[in-house]
Amino acid sequence: MLTTAPKGTKDIMPDQIYKWHYVEKKFREIADKYGYSEIRTPVFEHTELFTRSVGDTTDIVQKEMYTFQDLGNRSITLRPEGTASVVRAFLEHKVYANPQPTKIYYETSCYRYEKPQSGRLREFHQFGVEVFGAESMIADAEIISFANDFLTECGIDNLKLKINSVGCPSCREKYKSALKDYFRPHLDKLCENCKDRFDRNPMRIIDCKSPEDHELALNAPSILDYLCTDCKASFEEVKENLDTLGIEYEIDPTIVRGLDYYTKTAFEFVTDKIGAQGTVCGGGRYDNLMYEVGEQDVPGVGFGLGIERLLLLMDACGVEIPKADSMDALIVFMGEDARKVALKITKELRQKGLKVDIDAMERNIKGQLKYADRLGVRYAVVIGDDEILNGEAQVRDMRISEQKAVPFSKLYEELSK
C-alpha cells in the first residue's frame, strides 16, 4: 500500500518528463500565437459549481466526482474538468466588465472516479482553452483551428475532426421528443444507464458507449433535422469558416453534449489508433452556461484535450520526441584542495550559462568518469593536485575520449565550443 500509488493515477517519472515538457511548450507557443493568456485555478471547488455547470444528469456528476466534506463542513469536489473553474473565475473577477472576448488557456489535472484502463485514468491532465464573450462562429472556427494546429505540430496527421450542432434549448425540445419516440419501442434493449437517461436526458443515449445502444443510435433521428433557423445558419457559418481555413471535417450528428447549457457547435478529434478511448480532444459552444452559474449573459466556446491520450497517440504514430540536451560537463576532482576548486569552478561555469554537474557521491576518479559517461556529458573536467599547481584542468572530450590541458581561466571558452 505505502509504496503503491492509488489506482488510476500515474507518476510521471523524470525519464519521461521530456515528453510532457515538449507538448507543454508547443501548446504554449500556439496559445501565444493565437493571443490566449494562461489561467491557474484551484484543484478543488465548491461541489455546487460542478453540479450546476457540468450538469446533474451527466455521468461525471452522477458517479465520477471526488467529493468530500472538509473540516469546516463544506462540500468540496476535486475538479473533474476545466471549464467550470474558468467560468467561475471569470464571474468572480468580473472579467465580463472588460472589453471582450476573453481568451484563456490552461493545463490542468482532472479527477474522475472511472474504471481505469488505457487512456482512462482517475487523475489525468488536460490542455484547455475557452473564449468568452464572442457570439460569432469565427470563435468556434478559431478554437477548432487552434486544436488542429496543435495536434499537427505534435506530429499527428491521421486524426478525424467530427463536428455537429446540438442546437439550442428550443430546437432540442422537439428533437428530444422525436428521440424518445424512436427509442421507446427499444427501451428494454437499452443499457441500465440509458433506461435512466431516457426520461432525464435522452440525448445522452446517442453517445452511450455500450455496443447495442451505439448500434441503435446509428439510426436515431438526427439533431441536424431539428435545428431552428438561427442554429442552422450558425452551423453553416462554422462549416464555411472551416472550409476557408482548409480544415477538413466530417459531420457526425451523434456527437452530443446533452446538456441544456451547451449550444450549437460540438466537435471531437478522434483516432482509432489507441483503442477504445479514441477521443483526444472534445469541445463546443456553451452560450447558456455563464447564465446558469452566475446570471451573466456571456457566450462561451472551448475545448479540452487529454494529455495522456495525446502522448499515447504520439507514441502510436511513431513520433520521436527529442530528449532534453544532456549536461555540458562534469567536474571531476581528486583530493581536499581540488574539491574546493571544483566547487568554485562548477559555480562559475553555471553562472556563465553552462549545464555543469559535480559528483555528490565523492567517488574515486574512475567512478566519477563512469558517472560522466552515464550522464552523457560532453566533457569531463578533471582537477587534482597537479592541475591546481599548474592552474589548468584536464578536459576530456567524452565522445572521442581525448584529453587536453586547459587553463582554468579558459574553461568556459573551451567547454562552450
Stretch that binds ligand ATP, among 43-51, 139-147, 273-281, 376-384 (CB under 6 A): 273-281
* Pairing mode of beta strands 329-333, 356-358: parallel
Stretch that binds ligand ATP, among 119-127, 148-156, 351-359, 371-379 (CB under 6 A): 119-127
Ranges of beta strands (E only) in 185-246 are none
Does the footprint of ligand ATP cover residue 114 (CB under 6 A)? yes
Q: Are 141 and 241 in contact (CB under 8 A)?
A: yes
Q: How many residues bind ligand ATP (CB under 6 A)?
A: 17
Does the footprint of ligand ATP cover residue 304 (CB under 6 A)? yes
Does the footprint of ligand ATP cover residue 281 (CB under 6 A)? yes
Does the footprint of ligand ATP cover residue 306 (CB under 6 A)? yes
| Residue 221 CB, nearest approach to ligand ATP (Å) | 22
Stretch that binds ligand ATP, among 213-221, 306-314, 352-360, 395-403 (CB under 6 A): 306-314
Give how far Cα 302 sits from Cα of 47, 185, 337, Å.
22, 37, 61
Does the footprint of ligand ATP cover residue 308 (CB under 6 A)? yes
List the Cα angle 175/179/183 in 5-degree steps: 175
Q: Is the Cβ of residue 129 or residue 223 nearer to ligand ATP in the bound state?
A: 129
Q: Is the Cβ of residue 128 or residue 167 nearer to ligand ATP in the bound state?
A: 128
**Kind and range of the H or E run holding 52:** helix 47-53
| Per-residue x/- track, 221-260, ligand ATP (CB under 6 A) | ----------------------------------------
Distance, in Å, from the CA atom of 351 to the CA atom of 355, rounded to the nearest integer, reads 9
Q: Quote the cell numbers at residue 155.
A: 506530429
From candidates 79, 88, 103, 112, binder to ligand ATP by CB under 6 A: 112
Ranges of beta strands (E only) in 2-144 are 37-38, 44-46, 67-69, 75-78, 102-111, 123-132
**Kind and range of the H or E run holding 379:** strand 379-383
| Per-residue x/- track, 66-105, ligand ATP (CB under 6 A) | ---------------x------------------------
**Kind and range of the H or E run holding 313:** helix 307-316
| Residue 308 CB, nearest approach to ligand ATP (Å) | 5
Does the footprint of ligand ATP cover residue 51 (CB under 6 A)? no
From candidates 121, 159, 255, 349, binder to ligand ATP by CB under 6 A: 121
Q: Quote the cell numbers at residue 235.
A: 452551423
Does the footprint of ligand ATP cover residue 285 (CB under 6 A)? no
Does the footprint of ligand ATP cover residue 154 (CB under 6 A)? no
Distance, in Å, from the CA atom of 263 to the CA atom of 301, rounded to the nearest integer, reads 9
Distance, in Å, from the CA atom of 372 to the CA atom of 401, rounded to the nearest integer, reads 12
Q: Is the Cβ of residue 55 or residue 282 nearer to ligand ATP in the bound state?
A: 282
Q: Is the Cβ of residue 121 or residue 345 nearer to ligand ATP in the bound state?
A: 121
Distance, in Å, from the CA atom of 290 to the CA atom of 88, rounded to the nearest integer, reads 8
Sign of the Cα torsion 312, 314, 317, 323 reads negative
Grid cell 469565427 is found at: 138
Distance, in Å, from the CA atom of 113 to the CA atom of 210, rounded to the nearest integer, reads 19
User: Which residue has the CB atom at the shortest distance from ligand ATP?
Assistant: 306
Q: Is the Cβ of residue 121 or residue 238 nearer to ligand ATP in the bound state?
A: 121
For binding to ligand ATP (CB under 6 A), which residues are involved? Answer: 81, 112, 114, 119-121, 124, 126, 277, 279-282, 304, 306, 308-309
